Chains A and B, each alone.
Chain A
Amino acid sequence: MAISIKVNGQEHTYDGDPSIPVLWYVRDVLDMHGTKFGCGTGQCGACTVHVDGKATRGCLLSLESVAGKEITTIEGLDPNGNHPVQKAWRAHNVPQCGYCQAGQIMSAASLLADNPKASGEQIEQQMAGNICRCGCYQRIQAAVESAASEMEG
């Protein structure tokens, strides 16, 4: 039976293997490459997407388990790429190689949507699921904090 799913506001149906993870579905089937593969085991956060607005690891999430739900990927976070988190990322020159950053941004956006007043410690805790091997953490932390104050303000 075909699975129906909404990705960035667009309806799709898929009749392949229903156990395919959302990561590989958006990458290989929908040809949307912003969501990245880092570990495949839920440990790095590179594949983070929003499911009904909540940050979720796309690599462990089977398509059938999110049938009928709304998926947002980095491409759909903001129509112009100007979500406060994206703007803060640019203002702080966060990325090095950049590979982890879509996942970082999706995690941060979800965190701040839930808790725009997140403290430094809460940011650390909630962003700890996203690895950056290049080591941009100092700037990630600063960017999340400044996005938080913009969203609050």
Chain B
Amino acid sequence: MYRHIEQAIEAELNGEPAAADSLPLATGFIEKVSRRKFLKISGGSAAMALAMQIVPGSALAYDPYPTGAEGMPHKTVIDPQVFVAIDADGTVTLTTHRSEMGTGARTSVPLALADEMEADWSRVKLRQAEGDEPKYGNQDTDGSRSLRHYLQPMRQMGASVRLMLEQAAAQKWGVDVSLVKAENHEVHMKDGSKSIGFGEVAADAMAMELPAFEDLTFKTDDEFRYLGKGEVPMYDLHDITTGKARYGADITLDGMKFAAVARPGVVGAKVISVDDTEAMKIPGVERIVKIAGSMPPAKFAPLGGVAVVANNTWAAIKGRDALKIEWSDSPHSTFNTAAYADEMRATAKKPGKVLRKVGDPDAAFANAKRVFSQEYYQPHMQHAQMEPLVAVADYKEGKLDIWAPVQSPYGARTDTAAALGMDPKDVRVEVSLLGGGFGRKSKCDYVIEAALVSKEIGAPVKLQWTREDDVRGGFYHTTSVERLEAALDSNDKVVGWRHRSVSPTLFSLFVEDPGHTSALEGGMGLVDTPIGVENLVAESGEAKAHTRVGWFRSVSNIPRAWGVQSFIAELAHDLGRDPKDMLIELIGPDRKIDPVAADMKDLWNYGEPYEEFPNDTARLRGVIELAAKKAGWGKDLPKGEALGIAAHRSFVTYVATVVRVKVDDNGNVSIPETHMAVDCGFCGNPERVASQMEGAAVMGMTLAMHSSINHENGAVTNSNFHDYPVVRINSYPKQVHTHIVEHPFSVHATGIGEPGVPPFAPALANAIFAATGKRYRDLPFGENVG
């Protein structure tokens, strides 16, 4: 998200609704752009770069399509010399430029290249790219974009290298290239008379001139060896099971020191005085370093505080805990969760800023026979990724080397360079595996801290956050009140629809708090609602941030799906209707929503050109019906058991979830079965999609039942897993079945890292209601409904 957000902010604040230059693809429907225009791929080395163009008559197995990749900073680079190396022994080394945090992107993206070039995956090695977007193209691993944006460029590079290998072999044999064919790491004469390994022609092949795009051939779907099959495990699987996989803290440099930081409890508070007497007595503690603080909007600047430097992590943490620090006051020390929630609820009852209006909702509500309305609350939440933040930095003679688990390696590089007043040329960022990210590791405050400390002490340093630091020094998922209203006529027909969202914006990290949900956040289930009621209004109520609000996996889709999908089930109950039928009826007839007619012309479409990735209600209905069918919607269940359903489009992927709950006599809720139907276009790796859905179910259950970051007088009161609990193996949703809607490559692949999360909480609450008659409108609602 991160650097795309900065572009979005610029566009929004400059009042460029169509965002003509900075966001060309977010709003692709405004301007009927030719595919050709989008397919000019910018290259790293201009001479080598290929332009993907549609050439009449070329043997394409699919029709190339534009994606939002070309609207991202540094776009894509399509250059085999950058991404592919082949040794004489046949080892193929592919550069993988996306961060791995559990989705499988580090494997699945280069797998597409290997498949198209006919490489044998067992002879492929991966090299993780350092943060260098001018060289590799955009590296921001978030927004569920890795496959969405990189399947085509990877295939194009694979097809180019395959042809170069064929040309080299043909040259060696003195035959026409049409007589040879690359297959499974070898080039054969089509008549079977000769074959030669990739390694043996590699040097000649890689010295070939890059073929023109129109000379490339692409595999047809049935020729894929790996794509769409889900049979290739994650590249790091073996290393993960043996402890060899390297995460952020798993590097040691000569002379490296260890650091832990005392940060202010309240955002914006500053160090007045520090007494390090006790800290310095801890064996292993060497010195302290002050880090300057910041007040939002300050992007990812460190919170500030005092670092304790020691000869091991344990000593640094103990030393940090022994510091006595006097902190200044902060304007945010008045922030209290309960009072803030009350304020949001009050705001939600008043008219808000209109973001979208269709028909005449005011008249519909004024003339309604009755109005049905409810409010849904969601507190701030924190990522709680398993690996607490950590970074290793080595500043030496004007150069800075960083090793860190980062979702945006180039962002971390440029931000850290700026914080230290350096030229990004002098900063190098190596990316380790990420022990989870969920959006937190897009924000590089921890990297900047390590760099500042290394520079100050003149030695390499590993700066480790504790779990408490991580819980209390977060960039929190927004809190929200979603108010839904339905105007009913005398036949109980829904004739008006109002969705008012009150929710502090993550834009407040970057600019003076606008006080309203942004277009980007509005596009996550508020403005882009598929609800087809003829009189409809989407509004934002004012709310200002009092902490660092940042994105968390699925972002604003979580509160929006929570509100809308709970409300529809409530409305169905009120009207004596089946919730699934009601949901499908409210979505209305199958259609690709026409954004102009629907007053969504400023719609944020996850950065994708709308024509290529439209909001297609037939696909939404498709996943609803699929999940319902697989779950046996409508069947009789034992006493205490019931189904709940919810569906949501996010990151241009459609997911419907049916949760089956079991509530025992004591009110304890368990989840014996869940069905998730996913329409993500062409599915590159079904095995990882299933794994993401299973994980999304667990995260959805956690946030539904447990997650609430609480502020008292500006400071977070949670600290560790005992008061910020997550679902464990003794209560997880059992038997999560993932049903993937099958599509050919021509149906554009979309993302899967995030879209599984939003429908889970409302499906669960709807199931609990169906089982017990108890309706939850505030998250989290705990695991006992007695």
When the two chains form their complex, are residues B252 and A31 in contact, meaning their CB atoms are under 8 A apart?
yes
- B243, A21: Cβ atoms closer than 8 Å: no
Q: Which residues of B contact A131 (CB under 8 A)?
A: 386, 721, 726, 728
Contact B238 A90 (CB under 8 A): yes
Whether A137 contacts B387 by the Cβ 8 Å rule is no
**Interface residue A12 (Cβ < 8 Å from any Cβ of B):** no
Asked whether any CB of chain B lies closer than 8 Å to the CB of A53, the reply is no
Please classify how large the interface on chain B is, using the bins under 10, 10 to 19, 20 to 34, 35 or more.
35 or more
**B207 lies within 8 A of chain A by Cβ:** no
Name the one of A44, A100, A136 contacting B721, with C-beta atoms under 8 angstroms: A44
Contact A138 B735, CB 8 Å, known A96-B103, A99-B247: yes
Partner of B102, one of A16, A37, A97: A97
On chain B, the residues within 8 Å of A37 by CB distance are 249, 313, 388, 464
Most buried by B among A36, A96, A123: A96
Q: How far does the alpha carbon of A140 sit from the alpha carbon of B433 in the complex, in Å?
A: 21
Give the residues from 189 to 248 in chain B that come closer than 8 angstroms, CB to CB, to chain A: 233-234, 236-238, 240-247
Residues of B within 8 A of A74 (CB): 242-243
- Please determine whether B249 and A141 come into contact, CB atoms closer than 8 angstroms: no
Select which of B102, B233, B244, B249 is within 8 A of A90 by beta carbon: B233
A-B contact pairs, 27 of them (CB 8 A): A16-B283, A17-B284, A24-B312, A28-B258, A33-B247, A33-B250, A35-B243, A36-B247, A37-B249, A37-B313, A39-B720, A41-B722, A43-B720, A43-B721, A73-B243, A75-B243, A81-B242, A86-B242, A93-B233, A93-B691, A96-B436, A97-B100, A98-B245, A101-B241, A124-B729, A131-B728, A136-B695
Flag if B697 contacts A135 (CB, 8 Å).
yes
Main secondary structure of the interface of A (DSSP, over half): loop
| Inter-subunit contact B241/A33 (CB<8 Å) | no
Give, as a whole number of angstroms, the nearest-CB distance from B240 to chain A.
4
Interface residue? B687 (CB, 8 A): yes
* Chain A residues at the B interface, C-beta cutoff of 8 Å: 16-17, 20-21, 24, 27-29, 31-41, 43-44, 46, 73-75, 77, 81, 86, 89-90, 93, 95-102, 105, 123-125, 127-128, 130-141
Q: Closest B residue to A104 by CB, please name it.
A: B729
Q: Could you say which residues of chain A place their CB within 8 Å of the CB of B727?
A: 135, 137
Bound: A12/B433 CA distance, A: 30
Q: Which residue of B lies closest to A107 (CB)?
A: B729
Question: Is B466 in the interface zone, CB < 8 Å from A?
Answer: yes
* Cα A128 to Cα B101 with chains together (Å): 23
The answer on a CB contact under 8 Å between B384 and A97 is no
Please tell me if the beta carbons of A135 and B241 are within 8 angstroms of each other in the complex.
no
Q: Does B121 contact A (CB under 8 A)?
A: no
Asked whether, in the complex, the Cβ of A90 is within 8 Å of the Cβ of B237, the reply is yes
Whole-angstrom distance between the alpha carbons of A37 and B284 in the complex?
19
User: What 4 A-B pairs are tightest by C-beta distance, nearest first?
Assistant: A34-B243, A135-B698, A99-B435, A96-B102
Say which residue of B250, B283, B386 sits within 8 Å of A134 (CB atoms): B386
| Residue among A27, A125, A135 with max Cβ neighbours from chain B (10 Å) | A135
Contacts of B168 in A (CB 8 A): none
**Majority DSSP secondary structure for residues of B touching A:** loop
Which A residue's beta carbon lies closest to that of B467?
A39
Asked if B385 is an interface residue, CB under 8 A from chain A, the answer is: yes
Known: A39-B721, A97-B101. A33 touches B243 (CB 8 A): yes
Which of A32, A39, A102 has the most chain B CB within a 10 Å cutoff?
Answer: A39
- Contact of B74 with A by CB under 8 A: no
A134 CA / B104 CA spacing, docked (Å): 12
Residues of A within 8 A of B729 (CB): 123-124, 127-128, 130, 132, 137, 140-141
A41-B467, A138-B734 are known; give 5 further A-B pairs, CB within 8 A: A43-B720, A95-B102, A96-B691, A137-B728, A138-B736
Selected contact of B696 from candidates A24, A95, A135, CB within 8 Å? A135
Expressed in whole angstroms, the minimum distance between the Cβ of B263 and any Cβ of chain A is: 16
The reply to whether the CB of B730 lies closer than 8 angstroms to some CB of chain A is yes
B8 beta carbon closer than 8 Å to chain A: no
- B732 in the interface, Cβ–Cβ < 8 Å? yes
A38 vs B467: C-alpha distance when bound (angstroms): 7
8 Å CB interface, B705-747 against A: 720-722, 726-730, 732, 734-736
* Residues of B with C-beta under 8 A to A97: 100-102, 385-387, 433-437
Chain A nearest Cβ from B721, distance in angstroms:
4
Q: How far is the CB of B386 from chain A (nearest CB, A)?
A: 4
- Chain A hits for B104, CB < 8 A: 96
Partner of B732, one of A20, A21, A99, A135: A135
Which A residues are CB-close (under 8 A) to B100? 97
Q: Mark B668-680, 1 if CB is under 8 A from A, else 0.
A: 0000000000000
A24 to B317, alpha carbons, bound, how many Å?
11
B781 contacts A by Cβ under 8 Å: no
